[in-house]
Structure 1
Amino acid sequence: MATVMQKIKDIEDEMARTQKNKATAHHLGLLKAKLAKLRRELLTPTSKGGGGAGEGFDVTKSGDARVGLVGFPSVGKSTLLNKLTGTFSEVAAYEFTTLTCIPGVIMYKGAKIQLLDLPGIIEGAKDGKGRGRQVISTARTCNVILIVLDAIKPITHKRLIEKELEGFGIRLNKTPPNLTFRKKDKGGINFTSTVTNTHLDLETVKAICSEYRIHNADVSLRYDATADDLIDVIEGSRIYTPCIYVVNKIDQITLEELEILDKLPHYCPISAHLEWNLDGLLEKVWEYLDLVRIYTKPKGLNPDYEDPVIVSSKKKTVEDFCNRIHKDMVKQFKYALVWGSSVKHKPQRVGKEHELEDEDVVQIIKKI
């Protein structure tokens, strides 16, 4: 492990020394590819011993979504956790063999949101300790990450945490690169683009591919992509996670400073101690989770508005809804009756491909 960390440090030092210009783009692309491979090795070590990525550290996923909290010590993270789980949740005790803590599950808008504290990302990950590696593995399973910052501390904390997460393949508030990469059997590296490229050229693409021992591939760009974007696509293991920057202790800064913070994207100013804007934070978490609530209606009874079935907005067909209730339900499915904004008539008979909307009411009719 020490040798991998030393190699990472050597490459980072060389990148820092190298001037960024067109002449060095090829060399920097190669270094970035080497760095990505070494970081992957840290997350999933090939040698025996030292545990795999997350072995013995699996926090049981419960509820409808998982939110991870990251922050330096003394930014008020514990206070925030206690206030959120105390005010808005049924505090739940779980058995876990981990070094993180699960303070509780927030009940919000009918959804159970599991809250995880992830302290080891900062303390252990970058120096290659197994704990840091395993915490990163847990962080990659989160639906939303909250980076808790101190309003009176410099914004450098934000950059340090971002760098740590980015280094281990977690992309915050980003969408996957809009480029096509396809391996083939022969024909060498074919590089095409529909736009002018300021970062990548054929030589740099070839250098990055050769680092991965890829000698035949088609690379097609639809925007001005960087070497990092190409590496992300080749690696194929990147996680694209929504992130909210929670700026705590706003009671200790001026109104002018608060107004500046309020204009920044993905920011949510709060005071955990005084319980200022905790409702606003939860509303923002809900928005970033992008969940859909579906109410069930048993035959001959009123809809159950107390306990909605929660599905992702990306997987919200009637079939997805059935699978959330029970995996065998689709086998018995005949059709569904739907009331709500996804249909024109109330009720409307639909098939399992029909896409549902938030707060639709569904009654499943089974085959006899």
Structure 2
Amino acid sequence: MSKTQKNKATSYHLGQLRAKLAKLKRELIAPSSGGGGGGAGFDVARTGIATVGFVGFPSVGKSTLMSGMTGQDSLAAAYEFTTLTTVPGSLTYRGAPIQILDLPGIIEGAKDGKGRGRQVIAVARTCNLIFIVLDVCKPLKDKALLEHELEGVGIRLNKRPPNIYIQKKDKGGIAVTNTVPLTKIDHDEIRAICSEYRISNASIAFRSDASSEDFIDVLEGNRIYIPAIYVLNKIDQISIQELDLLYKIPMSVPISSRMWLNVDELMEKMWTELRLVRIYTKPRKQQPDYSQPVVLREGRATVADLASAIHRDLKNNIKGAKVWGMSAKFPGQICSPEHVLSDEDVVSLIKR
């Protein structure tokens, strides 16, 4: 592929090569993903409303950070591979119970099975947020290597699923439509990729500018899109001028886990990326309970979802709710079970 010039005459050939490469990569990682877990000592029972996994090379400070955040002892020492299994911990932040997973350090080639890297990455695929912990002395090099390892097993960091719609048909050939100009892929590449995946009749609609890799991701259907925060650890070892440069790395938070510097900013960033919604309940003719909010995930925070979170049978026994807060047009608005709630709303459920 690197020796092939990219032009209109070679686009079909390049599309076929990219599709073949994606299929071969899938065959390499298939055995590890088929088990569903990470193997003994790696996968753990899920608790809390969300899970945050720590991913990084050995000796970057993952265990020290995890111990400071949760109070859970995760063995830390001045040698590599101190953590050999997944160490779970939990913390409560703004009333939300959050599970923290300290994963063993991975090495270059982890996606191909080196250093039990597949088991570690299999656990990372199940997290709601990933902390990519980097050493500030070599952040860009390690960042590129870790992204390459995670991309190799179908984890897409800080990306949205491509807005591509595919409908297979019985006849009619490949019909391609696009609502925006396609600058990264042409129709010949699309047809070549479809041919490699044995798709001969389909309607394909591109609703955003996508590349051939994005199109292959949609066809594969097993990609995981996870937000990630780049935790640049050990800032106590660099100068102020170097620290200013680190802030130019997107989605990054410089910290020192040893001296506990700037961890508050990291926690704020974690809360923002997890997109959690706190709902305060108000029993009839009583004051709202601000001590224990019901925490829901954004996108699944309707009045009906709130009722299910309180008790699974309550959802079928409500006809609506009175709502105070940002989602209500006026205080005490009576809303339907489908009403979408906002963070820190106060809700009084109305039973049938």
Task: Identify whether the pair has TM-score above 0.5, normalized to the shorter chain.
Answer: yes
Q: Quick check: 1:301 aligned with 2:289?
A: no
AA at the equivalent of 1:81 = M
- Which of 21, 31, 37 does residue 54 from structure 1 map onto? 37
AA at the equivalent of 1:284 = K
- Distance in 2 between residues matched to 1:92 and 1:363, nearest whole Å: 41
How many residue pairs end up in the alignment?
Answer: 341
- CA shift digits 1:88-116 (9 cap, x unpaired): xxx499xxxx9632341011000111111
Classify the secondary structure of the residue corresponding to 1:311: strand
Q: Is the 8 A contact 1:124 1:131 kept in 2?
A: no
Classify the secondary structure of the residue corresponding to 1:305: coil
AA at the equivalent of 2:124 = A
Give the equivalent residue in structure 2 for 1:8.
Answer: none
Q: Is the 8 A contact 1:335 1:351 kept in 2?
A: yes
- Tell me the CA shift for residue 301 of structure 1: 3.2
- Tell me the CA shift for residue 362 of structure 1: 1.3
- Distance in 1 between residues matched to 2:304 and 2:5, nearest whole Å: 51
Give the equivalent residue in structure 2 for 1:39.
Answer: 25
Q: Is the 8 A contact 2:111 2:153 kept in 1?
A: no
Q: Is the 8 A contact 1:67 1:115 kept in 2?
A: yes
Q: Is the 8 A contact 1:85 1:103 kept in 2?
A: no
- Which of 100, 106, 113 does residue 91 from structure 2 map onto? 106
- Tell me the CA shift for residue 168 of structure 1: 1.3
- Distance in 2 between residues matched to 1:172 and 1:273, nearest whole Å: 27
Q: Is the 8 A contact 2:111 2:150 kept in 1?
A: no
- Distance in 1 between residues matched to 2:318 and 2:98, nearest whole Å: 29
Q: Is the 8 A contact 1:297 1:362 kept in 2?
A: yes
Give the equivalent residue in structure 2 for 1:360.
Answer: 345
- Tell me the CA shift for residue 234 of structure 1: 1.0
Unpaired stretches in structure 2, ≥5 consecutive residues: 75-82
Cα distance change on mapping 1:92 and 1:349 into 2, 3 Å: farther
- Tell me the CA shift for residue 65 of structure 1: 0.5
Classify the secondary structure of the residue corresponding to 1:126: helix
- Tell me the CA shift for residue 144 of structure 1: 0.9
- Which of 283, 307, 311 does residue 268 from structure 2 map onto? 283
- Tell me the CA shift for residue 289 of structure 1: 0.5
Cα distance change on mapping 1:135 and 1:59 into 2, 3 Å: same
- Distance in 1 between residues matched to 2:44 and 2:109, nearest whole Å: 18
Q: Is the 8 A contact 1:199 1:226 kept in 2?
A: yes
- Distance in 2 between residues matched to 1:220 and 1:258, nearest whole Å: 45
- Distance in 1 between residues matched to 2:334 and 2:143, nearest whole Å: 50
Unpaired stretches in structure 1, ≥5 consecutive residues: 1-14
User: Per residue, is there more helix in 1 or in 2?
Assistant: 1
AA at the equivalent of 1:31 = L
- Distance in 1 between residues matched to 2:34 and 2:168, nearest whole Å: 32
- CA shift digits 1:139-162 (9 cap, x unpaired): 122111110000012521101110
- CA shift digits 1:5-42 (9 cap, x unpaired): xxxxxxxxxx4x43452254433332322232233334
Cα distance change on mapping 1:165 and 1:230 into 2, 3 Å: same
Cα distance change on mapping 1:252 and 1:184 into 2, 3 Å: same
Give TM-score, length-normalised by structure 1.
0.85
Q: RMSD value over aligned CA atoms?
A: 2.5
AA at the equivalent of 1:106 = L
Give the equivalent residue in structure 2 for 1:216.
Answer: 201
Q: Pick which of 74-83 and 116-125 moved more.
A: 116-125
Give TM-score, length-normalised by structure 2.
0.89
- Distance in 2 between residues matched to 1:148 and 1:188, nearest whole Å: 47
Q: Is the 8 A contact 1:81 1:103 kept in 2?
A: no
Q: Quick check: 1:257 aligned with 2:242?
A: yes
- CA shift digits 1:114-133 (9 cap, x unpaired): 11123365477422369433
Q: Is the 8 A contact 1:177 1:225 kept in 2?
A: yes
Give the equivalent residue in structure 2 for 1:9.
Answer: none
1:123-138 aligned within 5 A? 125-128=110-113, 131-138=116-123
1:69-88 aligned within 5 A? 69-86=54-71
Give the equivalent residue in structure 1 for 2:79.
Answer: none
1:188-267 aligned within 5 A? 188-267=173-252
- Which of 342, 347, 354 does residue 332 from structure 2 map onto? 347
- Which of 306, 323, 326 does residue 338 from structure 1 map onto? 323
- Which of 2, 13, 16 does residue 27 from structure 1 map onto? 13
Q: Is the 8 A contact 2:48 2:98 kept in 1?
A: yes
Q: Is the 8 A contact 2:133 2:231 kept in 1?
A: yes
